Amino acid sequence: TGVRSPVDIGVLSGGAVHYSAVIVDGVTVTPKQRGIVLVLIDPSTGKVRSTGGYDTYLSADESDRLAAAISAAPDGTIVALATYEEGTNSLTDSARAAIASLGAATDLKGKSGAAYALIGVKGAAAGTAIERFDPTAAVTADVGVGALPARADATFSSQIVSYQPDRVTLLVQNNVRGLLAVSEAAFPGWEAYVDGMPTPVLRANGMQRAVVLPPALEGQPHEVTFVYRPLSARVGGAISALALLLALGV
């Protein structure tokens, strides 16, 4: 795109599969919304300026809303979007033109049911955006550490210290900064800790859990722990604690 993103961005489009998302620094920032999900990101700070979903399957008005949101973004804004379920049935000419203004080269006209993911820059030349398109299968697009190429001088070793359904701990020895991916899904609720410090859970290779690791000192491997704490459990625990406090009259 010609612009360096200050944050890691991952885009997943499931096409006919009922899941798509834009993930910024390990956090899913888009709603569950049929059509097209969209995120606008400040190119200097990495802050998410806005996020939304547009039912471009059902309504031409929603397509016009999508076009207006993109058109209102200042030139240089980083934009990520994905089709969610069916996102092109009512896609208007103005919406397709707005997507093209992000550096897109793919025309979504007549591409019903296809999976489409884009990371682009408002006002960029055609063909400069990162685009992934498939008429039948899910696609992913990444920038940042998720898109780092492999280094020939990289060395890596890992050892599983403990493995439970809701908690996994590994020791990892690596000589360069990189992405550690485990062959399990990055469902919401997973948290990660590197050497005891919380770190964002990213997505790699589609839906695998991953974290960024700095180089480890020789003979001092990183301890990486993944812990599953679903929101329902945290809310339930908070309610239970509140009930106990009320019962005690605190």
Q: What is the pLDDT of residues 142-154, one digit of tens each?
A: 887 655 566 778 8
Lowest mean pLDDT of 59-73, 94-108, 175-189, name the range. Answer: 175-189
Residue 173 has pLDDT above 90, yes or no: yes
CA–CA separation, 202 and 111 (whole Å)? 30
Q: Is residue 246 scored above 60 in pLDDT?
A: no
Which residue from 124, 127, 125, 122 is spatially nearest to 38, judged by alpha carbons?
122
Cα–Cα distance measured from residue 217 to residue 98, given in angstroms and rounded to the nearest whole number: 48
The model's pLDDT over 51-71, given as tens digits with 9 standing for 90+, comes to 999 999 988 999 999 999 999
Decide if domain 156-233 falls under CATH 1.10.1200: no
Domains of the chain by residue range: 9-147, 156-233
